[in-house]
Amino acid sequence: MSKNFYVTTPIYYVNGDPHVGSAYTTIACDVISRYKKTAGYDVYFLTGTDEHGQKVEEKAKEMGKTPQEWTDIMAPRFAELWKALNIENNDFIRTTEDRHKKAVAKIFKKVYDKGDIYKGSYEGKYCVSDETFVPDNQVIGENGCPHCGKELRIVKEESYFFRMSKYREALLKHIEENPNFILPEGRRNEVVSFIKDELYDLSISRNTFKWGIPLEIDPEHVIYVWFDALSNYLTAAGYLSDTEKFNKFWPADIHLVGKEIVRFHTIIWPIILMALELELPKKVYGHGWLVVDGDKMSKSKGNVIDPVALIDEFGADSIRYFLLREINLGLDGNFSREALIQRINADLANDLGNLLHRTLSMVNKFNGGLVKNTKVLEDVDTELIALAQNTVKQYQDSMDKMEISVAIRTVWNLISRSNKYIDLTGPWALAKDESKQ
């Protein structure tokens, strides 16, 4: 079995600062990456920024900057936040970098040369916030986006189309034969019914704005931002530029993404890869949202929490711990300051902090900072040893199932049993008795 592991976050839009919701995906990936590294894997952990498209172009304009100036201001803010959160990514890709732009142009060309791209015209609705086309039968009410509720724009333009429908049966077969390809299961069912109901050819170029990678075959057009963005997973891994690296890490082991973008990663992305005759990622996992009073935390809702302020107040470790302990990865979870403080006080300070403090201070006080293995074991000792060994197994089992919060709970069970062990054995009394020392 290969001991290489390739894990990715989505690449983040730079139309605003990162918030705790965006940090959540990155922290979860970091935890998975560290777990794999500890288990002896050579891990490649990629994150980055998604900088092209109409949304970013419009934001830059609003801020009185060119798109390039704006993205040059914003991309480092993400990189700095990841540093402050102790994220150990191996690479940070920006879609405006040359390495990416060159590779995407080649990817487009390959798919075009294969005959899977044709010219047509698109007339329909588009959501700039989600950077997605919306079929008429999905529009909510008069003109609402079915995903974010925002007002849709009417787009009428010449466009190149990707023959996605050609790959429909192959994709369904792949999903059926690889039950771990899309997780959790509920997400897989949604995707399957989407493919069955409405897998159309996709418009993959735009020609009514400029901020994107131009098509070599028709420079009036820029590549649709999702085609551009998804390709980052290939370009960063060295596709068409570093064969050794690419062969080592592709296919990706896991793309961890928020639930709202699972459909892009499990329909458009695998079909691009099929057209390129490349292997598909082993797993796409859709995590839930951080919600505040029932609403997704998002820039447009104005309910975001600034992670920088939280790190200053509570420290990066507390935030990392809270997010992954409090929220089950596959489900939505509430973010609240009260819950954060409660977890810090109860779990970190009381349970873990107390255990460390008691253990270390007694080892210092009674044993001069050293513990001799006297090989004397009583039942209470063997029970704790067995629990510790079992905890490792259970922890691994949960992590392998992406149940990070369950894995953490397993560790906390050991912590609380260890505290109990101290209460039961009373080292402060044993220390005073020569024969029990």
Element (H, E) at 65: none
Q: Tokens standing for 435?
A: 């024969």
Residues between 214 and 233 with contacts to ligand MSP, criterion CB under 6 A: 229-230, 232
- The verdict on 257 binding ligand MSP (CB under 6 A) reads yes
**Min CB(269)–ligand MSP separation in Å:** 8
Tell me if 92 sits within 8 A of 79, measured CB to CB.
Answer: yes
Q: Which stretch binds ligand MSP (CB under 6 A): 55-63, 289-297, 337-345, 395-403?
A: 289-297
As a whole number of Å, the CA-based R_g of the chain is 25
Nearer to ligand MSP, 62 or 169 (CB): 62
Nearer to ligand MSP, 60 or 352 (CB): 60
Which residue in the set 55, 59, 187, 296 belongs to the binding site for ligand MSP (CB under 6 A)? 296
Sketch the per residue contact string, 380 through 419, with ligand MSP: x for CB under 6 A, - otherwise.
----------------------------------------
The pairing of strands 91-94 and 333-334 is: unpaired
**Min CB(131)–ligand MSP separation in Å:** 8
Give the phi and the psi of residue 290 in degrees, each rounded to 5: -85, 120
- The verdict on 267 binding ligand MSP (CB under 6 A) reads no
Q: Which stretch binds ligand MSP (CB under 6 A): 35-43, 77-85, 171-179, 296-304?
A: 296-304
- The verdict on 11 binding ligand MSP (CB under 6 A) reads yes
Dihedral sign (CA 337, 20, 127, 67):
positive
Any alpha helices (H) in 13-84, and if so which ranges? 20-38, 54-62, 67-84
Any alpha helices (H) in 125-224, and if so which ranges? 168-177, 185-198
Q: How many of the other CB atoms lie within 10 Å of CB of 249? A: 24
Q: How many residues bind ligand MSP (CB under 6 A)?
A: 21
Nearer to ligand MSP, 304 or 415 (CB): 304
Q: How far is residue 195's CA from residue 342's CA, in Å, rounded to a whole number? A: 43
- The verdict on 12 binding ligand MSP (CB under 6 A) reads yes
Q: How far is residue 343's CA from residue 325's CA, in Å, rounded to a whole number? A: 9
Per CB under 6 A, residues contacting ligand MSP are 10-13, 21-22, 24-25, 50, 229-230, 232, 257-258, 260-261, 289-290, 296-298
